[in-house]
Structure 1
Amino acid sequence: MTIAHLRKLVQYVTNTNGETTSVLVPLEVWENLLQSWQNLADQLEQIDEAEPKEKILEDLKDSLRQTKAGQTFPISELWDEIDV
């Protein structure tokens, strides 16, 4: 499910100034998202257990260096890869 598809399924709540303050997510979509996040967490845990701590630390440092250098990409790219 893509971000564009998710945006069509949710309802945005606005305040009296017309500013978006909340999002209502259909229960089925929410449960699918939670399951996807849990699956991802489980996968990451398995990977982390098998990966040396030094490698994990180096990957984290590399990510921080890239962020400081402005070498980032839109979060939508990550969402597009998640299958819910």
Structure 2
Amino acid sequence: MPIAQIENLIRYVTNSEGKTTDVLVPLELWQQLIHSLNTDNISGLAWIDEQEPKEQILADLQESVRLAAAGQTFPISQLWEDATT
């Protein structure tokens, strides 16, 4: 979204002296901003995922393979819910 279009969506709050004190941002724009701040542009991963130690990633993968080998599988809907909460 071009900056000029974003500027038209933002509203400013002023106090009784006319000093700007706050900014109102539409929720959809706010969510896009937060998402872009929390996502690595190169990998597409969330910042928290980029910071996860490689040892933890490997341990999680090994546990997933162990569960799959033992026949413990999960419906995709459950995995999706776990990933988005």
- TM above 0.5: no
More helix by share: 1
Bigger Rg, which one: 2
